Structures are given as C-alpha cells and as structure tokens.
C-alpha cells in the first residue's frame, strides 16, 4: 500500500493516523473538520462545533493599539483606552485622577499621596528650598526675628519696632506702623508725609561764640550748619566786622564806639579848634 504524502497516515505495524505527517493549516473556518476520538472510535467534528463548546469571556475587543491599557466596556467586550497607556516604564493618564483611598509611590526624595480632596507629601524635604522646611509631609515657612506665623498666617510682631518706630494694635496683631516723633524734634507728619516743622523746636539763647546756624548750601542743595563766627564773617560788608560771632561797626579817625554807641572822638578838633567842657563820655564835646 502506498500512502499519500502529507496525508496524515503512517504505516507502523499497520496503517494509522499520524497528525505529524499532515500539512499544517494556518487558519480554520467553522466548516473545517477536526479528528477526535470519542472513546471507542475515530470521529470528525467541525471547528464551529468545537468553538461552541466554550462560553467566550471576550467577544469584542475594540481600539487594539499598542500600549493602551485594556478596560471592560460591557458584557464580553473590552476596549483599549486611548487616554490610559503604559509602555513598560511610564503610566500616562490623560484626564483627572480621583479616589477615596491612598495612592502612594516613591518619586525622587518625597512620597506623594493622592487623597479624595488633596495631594499630601509623606516627606517634602526634596522640594523644600530656602525659607521652607518639611513638617511631616507639609511645607512650612521658616521664620525668625520679627516675622512669625500665627493662626496659619504670616505676620510681623511688634519686636520689629526699634528706635523711631511705633505700631498700633497688639504685639501679634499689628494694625498700623508709624514714625515716633519727639515733641521737640522739629519734624511733623501731615497727610501721611514727613516734613520739617521748626515751630515745634525748643527755645534757647544762642551762644554766638560756640553755637551754629543751619543753612541750605546752594552748591549741592544739601542742608548744612555753620558756626555764628563763620556766618557773621561771611555776611560782614563795608563798615562791619566779625567779633567772635557778632557784628561790630568798624571805626577809624574821629569816629569811636563808646558805651555801645557810635560817637565823635576828640580828634575831631583840628587847627583853630579846641575841645572845651565835657569829657566825651556821653558823646558830647564843647569845641572852641
């Protein structure tokens, strides 16, 4: 007996079925047959009947694209989600993420937890830069000196107010800040602006030999001071002279100063004249 090539038969102590001797079929239709043994004899059955023996969990698979995460779309149907992909190392979600429990993962130097109403950090040290510190996963502002945190708010304490400053309100509840002016400072606050008020200065008799006077220098527009002696010397014109900070009349010849008065001296009597009664103590002479 001659057996056909690739006929699925073999002759080994008799003719028998040998699937390995048959040509492999790469696709099958419902009408194609399979050989089975029912326990007593060899039988054939269609591929369609074999498929009907199973209750398929998935009948429809839509949007079959690489890296899409599969979700259940309905009964016996799954779908490749366009907005949910995983390439083996990165899970990408396009849209919102919500949940009622904790989702945790290690990212850099801190752990994130996505909760129902917020995102908290298990350790925020990795993102705490200058002025910030980790407080059990929360970022706290570091303060010192006159800056403090009270009632979850950043504020200034009254300790900042040094010389010349004052504040209204409590030390931790400042309502306003102002300048503290002495009663005789020569300054005033008006309309929120600081200005000079010379009427508020104290009064005193100047000591012309040592005290100074304030003036505005025309060279640079700045305020400066000058001793009375220098001031008087600069202002003394013809007939006046500086006397340690006071103006004196400059006299010569027959003019003289007596008892703080300007008088004629006895030298006024020239040829043919002589000084008579009177000694000139009152500025009066008799001339004969």
Token representation of residue 51: 């498929």
Choose among 49, 26, 27, 24: nearest CA to 38: 49
pLDDT digits (tens, 9 = 90+) for 183-234: 888 888 888 888 888 888 888 888 888 888 888 889 999 989 998 888 888 8
Domain, as residue range, for 77:
60-93
Q: What pLDDT was estimated at residue 270? A: 66
Pairing of strands 173-179, 165-170: antiparallel
Q: Is 234 exposed, middle or buried (CB count within 10 Å of its CB: 0-12, 13-18, 19+)? A: exposed
Same domain? 102 vs 87: no
Taking the C-alpha atoms of residue 114 and residue 222, their distance in angstroms, rounded to an integer, is 64
Token representation of residue 21: 């001797």
185 found inside a domain = no
Same domain? 44 vs 16: yes
pLDDT digits (tens, 9 = 90+) for 198-210: 888 888 888 888 8
Same domain? 213 vs 244: yes
Count of the separate structural domains present in the chain: 4
Greater confidence (132 vs 106) lies with: 132
Same domain? 101 vs 129: yes
Same domain? 89 vs 100: no
Same domain? 24 vs 35: yes
189 found inside a domain = no
147 found inside a domain = no
Mean pLDDT of the chain: 79
Q: What pLDDT was estimated at residue 248? A: 87
Residue 258, by phi and psi: left (phi above 0), alpha (psi -120 to 50) or beta?
A: beta
The most confident of the ranges 73-77, 274-278, 284-288 is 73-77
pLDDT digits (tens, 9 = 90+) for 237-276: 888 888 888 888 888 877 777 777 777 776 766 676 666 5
DSSP 150-177: ETTEEEE-GGG--TTEEEEEETTEEEEE
Is 90 exceeded by the pLDDT of residue 81?
yes
108 found inside a domain = yes
Q: What pLDDT was estimated at residue 43? A: 83
Query: Lowest-confidence range among 4-8, 75-79, 283-287?
Result: 283-287
Sign of CA dihedral 276, 280, 285, 288: positive
182 found inside a domain = no
> Of all helices (H) and strands (E), which one includes residue 59?
none
Same domain? 210 vs 243: yes
Taking the C-alpha atoms of residue 9 and residue 258, their distance in angstroms, rounded to an integer, is 163
Q: Is 205 helix (H, G, I), strand (E, B) or coil?
A: coil
Token representation of residue 133: 């510190």
Token representation of residue 169: 């309100």
Taking the C-alpha atoms of residue 180 and residue 192, their distance in angstroms, rounded to an integer, is 13
Same domain? 219 vs 240: yes
Same domain? 209 vs 243: yes
Same domain? 233 vs 213: yes
81 found inside a domain = yes
177 found inside a domain = no
Same domain? 108 vs 138: yes
103 found inside a domain = yes
């Amino acid at each position: 007996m001659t057996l056909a090539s690739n006929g699925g038969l073999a002759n080994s102590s008799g003719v028998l079925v040998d699937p390995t001797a048959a040509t492999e079929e790469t696709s099958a239709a419902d009408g194609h047959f399979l050989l089975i043994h029912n326990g007593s004899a060899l039988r054939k059955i269609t591929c369609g009947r074999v498929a009907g023996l199973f209750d398929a969990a998935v009948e429809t698979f839509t949007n079959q694209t690489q890296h899409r995460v599969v979700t259940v779309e309905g009964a016996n149907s799954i779908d490749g989600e366009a907005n949910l992909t995983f390439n083996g190392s990165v899970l990408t979600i396009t849209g919102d993420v919500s949940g009622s429990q904790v989702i945790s993962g290690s990212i850099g130097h801190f752990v994130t937890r996505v909760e129902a109403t917020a995102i908290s950090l298990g350790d925020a040290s990795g993102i705490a830069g200058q002025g910030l510190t980790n407080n059990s996963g929360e970022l706290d502002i570091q303060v010192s000196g006159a800056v403090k945190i009270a009632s979850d708010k950043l504020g200034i304490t009254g300790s900042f107010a040094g010389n010349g400053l004052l504040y209204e309100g409590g030390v931790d509840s400042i309502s306003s800040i102002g300048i503290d002016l002495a009663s005789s400072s020569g300054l005033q606050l008006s309309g929120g602006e600081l200005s000079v008020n010379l009427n508020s200065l104290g009064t005193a008799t100047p000591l012309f030999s040592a005290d100074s006077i304030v003036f505005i220098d025309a060279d640079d527009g700045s305020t400066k001071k000058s001793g009375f002696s220098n001031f008087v010397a600069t202002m003394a014109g013809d007939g006046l002279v500086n006397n340690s900070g006071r103006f004196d009349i400059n006299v010569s010849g027959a003019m003289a100063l007596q008892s703080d008065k300007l008088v004629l001296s006895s030298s006024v009597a020239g040829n043919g004249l002589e000084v008579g009664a009177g000694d000139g103590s009152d500025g009066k002479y008799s001339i004969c």
